[in-house]
Chain A
Amino acid sequence: KQEVTQIPAALSVPEGENLVLNCSFTDSAIYNLQWFRQDPGKGLTSLLLIQSSQREQTSGRLNASLDKSSGRSTLYIAASQPGDSATYLCAVLRSNDYKLSFGAGTTVTVRA
């Protein structure tokens, strides 16, 4: 069974600081990994998708890396802003059934 763990569970930083969010998964048989953002009481917004053959993806201030063999991904957010405050979820797409397994999320607060 695929287990996805996100560390830390919560993070509070001053504006301008870089954010580092970690995700680990137990089964390396994945097709891809997605990072999502969720605002309180809302749905999920897809931030980045990394295919299993890729090492990283970048979009603006966001960069995500993937080390499939060791079962780890890291999301970097550069020069954080108060608008980055949200919960960030990592999810892996399982190879055997095309279903997503989610981590519990990291709740980020960026202080102005």
Chain B
Amino acid sequence: SAVISQKPSRDICQRGTSLTIQCQVDSQVTMMFWYRQQPGQSLTLIATANQGSEATYESGFVIDKFPISRPNLTFSTLTVSNMSPEDSSIYLCSVGLAGGPSEQFFGPGTRLTVL
């Protein structure tokens, strides 16, 4: 398994500002993912964070709104830019321990409220 931490655990932000969420893993992993969970909804994949290359975004998510960094095999950041109340969600990172299909493990999430 993997131990994943996220910072911050929660935040309340003003409309129009940006927030950067950090995800730290206790071991080197090939695949890291960022998800959004809107209130009362299930998880939606935002992007796959690849070390050494650009993140791969899902339909409906763009790099200008959700820039992602992956500087090494244990760390990634997701920025939520120019926030609006619709961005209020829980943001979760997850990792897959193998390069291909494998069990995924999730961080504790970051609860974001935008006023």
Contacts and interface: CB of A to CB of B under 8 A. Distances in A.
22 contacts: A31-B101, A32-B101, A36-B106, A41-B90, A41-B109, A43-B109, A44-B43, A45-B106, A46-B1, A46-B105, A46-B106, A95-B101, A98-B31, A98-B100, A98-B101, A99-B33, A99-B45, A100-B94, A103-B42, A104-B41, A104-B42, A105-B42
A105 B92 CA distance: 16
B92 A49 contact: no
Contacts of A105: 42
Interface of B: 1, 6, 31, 33, 41-45, 48, 90, 92, 94, 96, 100-101, 103-109, 111
A44 B106 contact: yes
Contacts, number: 54
B34 to A, nearest CB: 12
Interface string A46-62: 10010000000000000
A25 interface: no
Given A41-B90, A98-B96, A99-B45, A34 B106 contact: no
B103 A34 contact: yes
Chain B at the A interface: SS class = strand
Which of A31, A36, A95, A100 counts the most chain B CB atoms within 10 A?
Answer: A100
Interface string A76-100: 0000000000000101010100111
Given A44-B92, A105-B42, A49 B101 contact: no
Nearest to B110: A43
A100 B42 contact: no
Contacts of B101: 31-32, 93, 95, 98
A103 B43 CA distance: 8
Which of B101, B103, B105 counts the most chain A CB atoms within 10 A?
Answer: B101
Contact of A100 (B45, B90, B107): B45
A39 to B, nearest CB: 10
A100 B103 CA distance: 10
B106 A43 contact: yes
